[in-house]
Structure 1
Amino acid sequence: MKSPCIKVCEFEQGICLGCGRSREEIKAWKRVDHLGQEAILAEADMRLLVLEAQGKRLYR
């Protein structure tokens, strides 16, 4: 699966404001199987919704 990175890489409290993944999830991305990547993406999507609601996500 392709990485969801959008080359923003600005972090707030350990979460990327661009893709919504944690630093640990970014580091592990290539080692995680497809189901693990899907789980990471689901969590990241939820984080991005929260960041957007808080007005902290400036990139789409």
Structure 2
Amino acid sequence: MAKEIENPCISVCQLSGDLCMSCGRSKEDIRKWKRMKRPEKMAAVQRASVRLKD
């Protein structure tokens, strides 16, 4: 069985517009996280990682 994708939240929410500046996720990704399937979570984590590097 595949390992669960870890939630990137670090419990320091700093929203700027539609993005959290702490974890890099969008408000939509944060809201949908618990209902996302594994591939969706992987994509959300990848997008967040790219945002945090910018």
Q: What range is the shorter-chain TM-score in? A: 0.7 to 0.9
Secondary structure, counterpart of 1:37 in structure 2: helix
Aligned pair count reads 50
Does residue 12 (structure 1) correspond to residue 38 (structure 2)? The answer is no
Moved over 3 A (4+): none
Gaps of 5+ in 1: 51-60
Residues in 2 aligned to 1:21 and 1:15: alpha-carbon distance in whole angstroms: 6
Residues in 1 aligned to 2:44 and 2:37: alpha-carbon distance in whole angstroms: 11
Percent pairwise identity: 38
Gaps of 5+ in 2: none
TM-score w.r.t. length of structure 1: 0.78
TM-score w.r.t. length of structure 2: 0.86
Deviations 1:2-59 (A, max 9, x none): 2110011011121101100011100000101001000000000000011xxxxxxxxx
Does residue 37 (structure 1) correspond to residue 15 (structure 2)? The answer is no
Residues in 2 aligned to 1:46 and 1:27: alpha-carbon distance in whole angstroms: 19
